[in-house]
Amino acid sequence: MESLLLPVLLLLAVLWTQAAALINLKYSVEEEQRAGTVIANVAKDAREAGFALDPRQASAFRVVSNSAPHLVDINPSSGLLVTKQKIDRDLLCRQSPKCIISLEVMSSSMEICVIKVEIKDLNDNAPSFPAAQIELEISEAASPGTRIPLDSAYDPDSGSFGVQTYELTPNELFGLEIKTRGDGSRFAELVVEKSLDRETQSHYSFRITALDGGDPPHLGTVGLSIKVTDSNDNNPVFGESTYSVSVPENSPPNTPVIRLNASDPDEGTNGQVVYSFYGYVNDHTRELFQIDPHSGLVTVTGALDYEEGHVYELDVQAKDLGPNSIPAHCKVTVSVLDTNDNPPVINLLSVNSELVEVSESAPPGYVIALFLHYPGGRTAGP
Ligand SMILES: [Ca+2]
Ligand SMILES: [Ca+2]
Ligand SMILES: [Ca+2]
Ligand SMILES: [Ca+2]
């Protein structure tokens, strides 16, 4: 029992001794200082804190641990804490709010000194964006209030020296809303403030500026390119609701009658118009005329005969190929023009009787008979 108790008592004694002879020293140094910058005189501070250090003894100090030996060290003879190279806090500790290097120093009499060196941040970086340009596509149907998160700028400095806010080229249609992530970093959302219309303007270019919290702040900018994509928000429209044209009868097939045009300013299939006869266009009319679905050209396909009909009415619809299409309508009135296509029917009408007799004594200018010419074969009459 005694043989076990003795080492335990000795250990407690050592711990008590160490605890009694343990001091904490805290220092700070700004990042980016030249190599060899003196941070503190640890030997002097330790003595003032009660360490029994003999300043004449070169090996009085021994560094037992150092979290960054390539950056700071204690000169054992002078007891000075110095930088060994330029310290880049932003590389060493990134976004951490505190950047601490820890050392433990032991004296020859087993006294321990715990040293904390805080590396103070400088605002030595500007925010930067991952690419030179942010490209966005927004539908013209996006309602006001729509939000689109934007790529964040990055600033390696910590705290308020990091990215604090974003600004957008002032404009009426888009705004920015600044948000904070769980880790404290800031990002911006583009907010659609007003209704967009691709047919009015299909592309916008702005600049976004990221600012850190320095005084004055450092800036980083990026181009913002917004392409407004189409929605099928226009219907085809004819220039007129009615058209009147005439075409000679017996026009050969493919004779153009009229080229209709319904305009739709939308893009792609949303603005691609197809034409067709609809509704009350009867079968006979459909035999005589056709409309090209793509060009809107109405042509003659059958034999037009004035005597068969003078006027035809074509109801035409134009429809785009986009979703939820609403067709437009117009009426084309085609008048068939009479041409001299019937052989002349000559009626020889005597003035007085069927038998034409002329007296040899008839005076000059005496009317013998009337030649009546009725094209189209209608019944002639006096
Ligand atoms: Ca910095
Ligand atoms: Ca900065
Ligand atoms: Ca359309
Ligand atoms: Ca559109």
Show Cβ contacts of residue 183 under 8 Å, excluding neighbours closer than 6 positions. 95
> Is the separation of the CB atoms in 256 and 241 below 8 Å?
no
> Is the separation of the CB atoms in 76 and 62 below 8 Å?
yes
* Residue keyed to tokens 């949303």: 270
pLDDT for res 240: 97
Tell me the β-bridge partners of 65.
104
Select from 2.60.40.60, 1.20.1260.10, 2.40.50.100, 3.40.1210.10 the CATH code of 15-120: 2.60.40.60
166 Cα: distance to centroid of ligand 2 (angstroms): 14
Show Cβ contacts of residue 76 under 8 Å, excluding neighbours closer than 6 positions. 58, 59, 60, 61, 62, 63
Q: Phi and psi dihedrals of 15, rounded to 5?
A: -60, -40
Coil, helix or strand at residue 8:
helix
Residues with CB under 5 A from ligand 1 (ion): 90, 121-122, 124, 157
Kindly report the number of other CB atoms within 10 A of residue 129's CB atom: 19
In the DSSP assignment, the letter for residue 60 is G
pLDDT for res 280: 80
Domain assignments of the chain as residue spans, ordered by start: 15-120, 133-229, 237-337, 342-382
258 Cα: distance to centroid of ligand 3 (angstroms): 23
Q: Please compute, for residue 85, the number of CA atoms within 13 A of its CA located in the half-sphere on the CB side.
A: 7
> Is the separation of the CB atoms in 363 and 339 below 8 Å?
no
- Mean pLDDT split into 10-residue runs, the chain, 382 residues: 47 45 93 97 86 64 92 88 97 92 87 94 97 96 97 95 97 97 93 97 98 97 98 97 94 96 97 93 92 98 84 96 96 90 52 54 61 43 37
Distance CA 382, CA 367 (A): 14
The structure tokens listed for 169 are 């080229």
Kindly report the number of other CB atoms within 10 A of residue 284's CB atom: 11
172 Cα: distance to centroid of ligand 4 (angstroms): 20
Give 228-253 as a DSSP string.
Answer: EEP------EES-SEEEEEEETTPPT
pLDDT for res 378: 42
Q: Which of 350, 343, 340 is nearest to 371 (CA)?
A: 350
Tens of pLDDT, residue by residue over 248-272, are 988 999 999 999 999 999 999 999 9
Distance CA 363, CA 31 (A): 137
Q: What torsion do the CA atoms of 214, 215, 216, 219 make, to the nearest 10 degrees?
A: 10
User: Which ligand has the nearest atom to the CA of 215?
Assistant: 2
The structure tokens listed for 149 are 């998160």
121 Cα: distance to centroid of ligand 3 (angstroms): 58
Distance CA 303, CA 258 (A): 17
Q: Which of 98, 96, 97, 102 is nearest to 117 (CA)?
A: 102
233 Cα: distance to centroid of ligand 4 (angstroms): 5
User: Which ligand has the nearest atom to the CA of 121?
Assistant: 1
Q: Does domain 133-229 have CATH number 3.20.20.120?
A: no
169 Cα: distance to centroid of ligand 4 (angstroms): 26
Q: What is the pTM of this model?
A: 0.73
* Residue keyed to tokens 């729509």: 146
User: Which ligand has the nearest atom to the CA of 30?
Assistant: 1
pLDDT for res 285: 92
Classify domain 237-337 at the CATH class level.
mainly beta
Q: What is the Cα 87 distance to its own chain's centre? A: 42
> Is the separation of the CB atoms in 158 and 89 below 8 Å?
yes
- Cis peptide bond prior to 343, omega within 30° of 0: no
pLDDT for res 367: 58
Instruction: Confirm whether 133-229 and 237-337 share one CATH topology.
Output: yes
pLDDT for res 342: 61
